Amino acid sequence: MTIEYIPRGVCARKMLIEIEGDTVVSLQTIGGCHGNSQGVAALVKGMKIDDVIARLDGISCNGKGTSCPAQLACALRKYKENA
């Protein structure tokens, strides 16, 4: 299943997250820092959703109170709530 998430308060405009069961299969981020997006996507590939949330939740970018990684955690938390 692929979920589409519109992040808030960051440079990225959209995240496409492919999930199988309780595992992140892939992540594509549209907009934002290309290198950071590729790095985060490579790191979360194959990770359990709960592990991604635990590692990325609360990360701040330039004092914004959120970041693209934190927004990914938010997207996954919302996915779990609606699953």
The full DSSP string for 39-69 is: HHHHHHTT-BHHHHHHHHTT--STTSS--HH
Range of the domain at 78: 2-82
User: Does the pLDDT at position 53 exceed 90?
Assistant: yes
83 has a pLDDT exceeding 90:
no
In angstroms, rounded to a whole number, what is the distance separating the alpha carbons of residues 76 and 24?
9
Domain count, the chain: 1
pTM: 0.95
pLDDT tens digits along 1-36: 999 999 999 999 999 999 999 999 999 999 999 999
H/E run at residue 38 = helix 34-44
